[in-house]
Structure 1
Amino acid sequence: MKGDTLGESRFKLGCFFSPCVEINFPELQGLQLNQAYLAINAYLGSKGTDKANCLSASQVRDVKGLVLKREGKTMNDEYKGFKVWWKNVTSPNGDKSYQLTFHSRARSVITTAYIQYVVEEGTLLHTKNKKMKLLSNEQSIWRINDFEHPASFQTFAMDPEKKQEIIDDLIAFINGKEYYKKIGKAWKRGYLLYGPPGTGKSTMIAAMANLLNYCIYDLDLTSVHNNLDLKKMLTTTFSRSIIVIGDIDCSVNLTGNRIQKDNLRKNGEQSKEERIIVFTTNHLQKLDPALIRRGRMDMRIELSYCTYEAFKILAKNVVTSRFDNYLDRCGDHHPLFEKIKTLLEGTMITPADLAETLMARNQIIDVDGSLNSLIQTLERMNNYQRRQRHEHKEKQDRKKHKKYNIFGSLLEH
């Protein structure tokens, strides 16, 4: 491939004397990504890197070395003696497309064999160098970004048995195509993540995506104006993806009444197969039971305050990385662990807050210092929460006493 200005000028001059054909490959078809565009982008980006003067480099997760791509808006190619010219076009409103130009005498070869060759080669390259994507909606359009998040189930702070149950469920789902077909059920799985803020709902979704190598669709219902747009958004998602509707209790309330809740359920059921749908909420009790019944939300996952088992994982993740696997060597036998275990049984602290407490100090003091700092934080929180519970009980007792006094006065009169 050559991408020089002189070559482009010669090609255009040839088109002036001989009719040329142009084919456009837009990035989007309606609301859906054009698979041909992605394949062409991968094919053209990989060509001529050994001769090009301008390159871009990136590193794909789990792939050693750099992926080099040629930069530039135009480049030419040759297939079975016929020359073609590719141009990367961006419209004033930001829409992207590839424009393929060739002489009319090459129409039959280019429109059949060449385009098929480019798409097949590009698809292989795209799969090989695939980056996970995070897609978020602006009104009725999906916007694409590369997704890079270090979360994994190995480092996720959760009771090991509960964590393994979730992993087993996810693996069973991705291997369950024939099972779902046999029982006559759509190949989808719904997960409801609920719990206070800071308990790891977003991290759990990232760990799911990394485990399965699925893209994430972050669907903001407040940006979807009507049910027709919602249906289009859901039906244009790719297979092997996770559709996330965060804070579903707030989203449904903001988008309207019961009728719109019914449409959300129906549209979710009509989306394509091999999908995972995740709802998150901080307030389980606010959700319509019909929205989260079995068959829609197949697995409910409570993400609550930090337990002792979750603490041990966080300690190894956060502290061990700084102190040469010290905690790995001593395991559960560190003398301060028993004190922390007792405090955690009576203290509500989220995994995020606990990790932040460890991280805030672990660069400047030793392991014992980090753990002692955590103990001090837990003791302060424990004392504060005990006072709050005591004050709440006293307030309730005063209300009861006042109520009984009023009732007694009425009986006397």
Structure 2
Amino acid sequence: MILPVKSMPETWSAVGSTLVTFIFFWNMIQRYCPPEIRHYLEKCTARLSGFLNPNIQVSIHEYTGNHLRPHEAYSIVNAYLSLNSFNAKRLKAEMAKENDNKLMLSMDEYEETTDVFNGVQVTWTAGKVSTPPRNGGFSHYLEPERRFYKLKFHKCYKKMMTEEYLEHVIRKGREIQARNRQRKLYTNGHSSYWSHIVFEHPAKFATLAMAPEKKEEIVDDLLTFTKSKDYYARIGKAWKRGYLLYGPPGTGKSTMIAAMANLLDYDVYDLELTSVKDNTELRKLLTETTTKSIIVIEDIDCSLDLTGQRKKKEEKPAEEKPEKVEKKSSRKEKEESGSKVTLSGLLNFIDGLWSACAGERLIVFTTNYVDKLDPALTRRGRMDKHIELSYCKYEGFKVLAKNYLELDGHPLFQSIEELILEVEITPADVAENLMPKSAKEGPEQCLQNLICVLKETKNRKCREDKDAENNDDGETIEDAAAVIDTHAM
């Protein structure tokens, strides 16, 4: 008996009908089947799919722990694929390190590439998952998309892939990262996550206007910290160190931070506290920082209501209505500022349980008015090293003269040394006067400009001291006259 052969349209029609029937029944199961039975059927389907599919997939996500921290393996795989994805059709380009004419290519999202290891071909796929907005809104609570890579290979090569190939990827990826690493400057801006640009600040300790002994002390402290992982583990402390930089404006606090980053090859996280909604968001930002980084809060004395001394509450008379109005007004302003970060939350950020989430980090605060800070914020153990950056001294001037004028000595140096001991002038002001304003100004003219500014500053200070002395004498005479009048009465 010969069965009739179906034509191609009839075959495709039968396949389509079967698929539609399967989809219909699967939809009915999803809608009306009890959860227990549905879960069992899904497990069976997954097992059947795994039995029929000979491939194994390994996912490497950009974040770990429910989007708490960046996954180091993701960045390593990304570096590895930047040199092993040329058979992909869609690539994305980034500038290579210190070379504006060279682009570093890597695989774009939803793209696929292949790699060969010991004669075995594997497949890499790039993808991303959109995250829903927090609290259902569309403001700065939106989180970035979570990207991932998927590695696919035949199950018969599982041992070789998981033990040898992935180790090969990690080793090569780290080598590529070391060659192409660009240090980054991160900021939280007005969002709940970090954004970054390439960190290219040229500051070095050699160019800082400080006494050589003080610079050497700071450099030794920093280098000792980077080599002390085992020591910190032995004494039971998180591998971090706090630095408090304080002094008048223009004394080089921000430049000092850049010099630290360049010395240690660390990334910089510039944390804007006023943009942080609450302690929970502060903790989230902290956990997303990476190792080998400097977390900076500049002008901590101006950040929220964290700088005042904690005072005991005093009872106020009920009749002081204007003061109550003022309190309500200040409370309303604080609520409208949008930030509810507390001193307690900040202290936990510095040395609480969450402070050990990454390791090998510096936490740096800067302030112009160290006396305004709460002692709980600046005590040793939180801010381990206090560095005062004060007015420019003669040693600092010589460094600036070398930087700006390429001078190691000059006859005018003696006059400047005598004047700079008598006046208070910041390194920023000295540098401004040493910088040539036109092509006609030579080193000597720049030094003369600085001498003129130093003399003007000295004369102004003398006048102010004289006026203050005259005021004191006038007050003394008035007090004496008042005493005489009292006795005469």
Q: TM-score range by the shorter chain?
A: 0.7 to 0.9
TM-score, normalised on structure 2? 0.68
Are the aligned partners of 1:136 and 1:219 in contact in 2 as well (CA < 8 Å)?
yes
CA distance 1:372–1:277, change in 2 (3 Å) = same
Map of 1:375 onto structure 2: 451
1:245 aligns with 2:306: no
Q: 1:131-190 CA distances to partner (integer Å, 9 max, x unpaired)?
A: 212222244312222211111111111011111111111122122233333444433222
* Matches of 2:472 and 2:226, distance apart in 1: 51
Query: SS in structure 2 opposite 1:361?
Result: coil
* Matches of 1:255 and 1:304, distance apart in 2: 21
Map of 1:277 onto structure 2: 363
Are the aligned partners of 2:188 and 2:271 in contact in 1 as well (CA < 8 Å)?
yes
Offset of 1:229 from its aligned partner? 2.4
What is the identity, as a one-letter code, of the residue corresponding to 2:176?
A: L
* Matches of 2:292 and 2:158, distance apart in 1: 35
1:70 aligns with 2:125: no
Query: SS in structure 1 opposite 2:206?
Result: coil
Which of 244, 260, 277 is 2:342 aligned to?
A: 260
Map of 2:396 onto structure 1: 310
Of the structure 1 ranges 89-98 and 182-191, higher mean CA displacement relative to structure 2 is found in: 89-98
Are the aligned partners of 1:194 and 1:282 in contact in 2 as well (CA < 8 Å)?
yes
Map of 2:197 onto structure 1: 145
**Same amino acid, percent of matched pairs:** 42
Q: 1:176-227 CA distances to partner (integer Å, 9 max, x unpaired)?
A: 2333334444332221111111100000011111111111121222122222
Of the structure 1 ranges 233-242 and 205-214, higher mean CA displacement relative to structure 2 is found in: 233-242
* Matches of 1:43 and 1:125, distance apart in 2: 7
Map of 2:183 onto structure 1: 132
Are the aligned partners of 2:309 and 2:374 in contact in 1 as well (CA < 8 Å)?
no
1:286 aligns with 2:372: yes
Offset of 1:350 from its aligned partner? 1.1
Are the aligned partners of 1:199 and 1:350 in contact in 2 as well (CA < 8 Å)?
yes
Query: SS in structure 2 opposite 1:279?
Result: strand
CA distance 1:72–1:290, change in 2 (3 Å) = closer
Are the aligned partners of 1:132 and 1:147 in contact in 2 as well (CA < 8 Å)?
yes
* Matches of 2:266 and 2:86, distance apart in 1: 29
Map of 1:358 onto structure 2: 434
Map of 1:156 onto structure 2: 208
1:228 aligns with 2:228: no
1:193 aligns with 2:245: yes
CA distance 1:339–1:266, change in 2 (3 Å) = same
CA distance 1:377–1:53, change in 2 (3 Å) = farther
Name structure 2 gaps, 5 residues minimum: 1-52, 132-141, 311-340
Q: 1:265-298 CA distances to partner (integer Å, 9 max, x unpaired)?
A: 2331131232221111000111112221122222
Name structure 1 gaps, 5 residues minimum: 1-17, 321-326
Which of 199, 202, 205 is 2:257 aligned to?
A: 205
Are the aligned partners of 2:184 and 2:196 in contact in 1 as well (CA < 8 Å)?
yes
Q: 1:4-59 CA distances to partner (integer Å, 9 max, x unpaired)?
A: xxxxxxxxxxxxxx899987655445242232331232122223569999885645
CA distance 1:53–1:111, change in 2 (3 Å) = closer
What is the identity, as a one-letter code, of the residue corresponding to 2:253?
A: K
1:97 aligns with 2:147: yes
What is the identity, as a one-letter code, of the residue corresponding to 1:159?
A: A
Are the aligned partners of 1:347 and 1:382 in contact in 2 as well (CA < 8 Å)?
yes
Map of 1:13 onto structure 2: none
Map of 1:385 onto structure 2: 461
| Larger Rg belongs to | 2
Q: 1:292-324 CA distances to partner (integer Å, 9 max, x unpaired)?
A: 11222222111111111101100111111xxxx
Offset of 1:85 from its aligned partner? 4.9
Q: 1:317-339 CA distances to partner (integer Å, 9 max, x unpaired)?
A: 1111xxxxxx24xx3xx110001
Which of 397, 411, 415 is 1:335 aligned to?
A: 411
Are the aligned partners of 1:21 and 1:107 in contact in 2 as well (CA < 8 Å)?
no
What is the identity, as a one-letter code, of the residue corresponding to 2:203?
A: A
Are the aligned partners of 1:134 and 1:216 in contact in 2 as well (CA < 8 Å)?
yes
CA distance 1:110–1:90, change in 2 (3 Å) = farther
Q: RMSD between aligned alpha carbons? A: 3.6
* Matches of 2:151 and 2:241, distance apart in 1: 44
CA distance 1:238–1:71, change in 2 (3 Å) = closer
Offset of 1:354 from its aligned partner? 1.1
What is the identity, as a one-letter code, of the residue corresponding to 1:195?
A: G
Query: SS in structure 1 opposite 2:418?
Result: helix
* Matches of 2:156 and 2:469, distance apart in 1: 85
* Matches of 2:156 and 2:375, distance apart in 1: 61
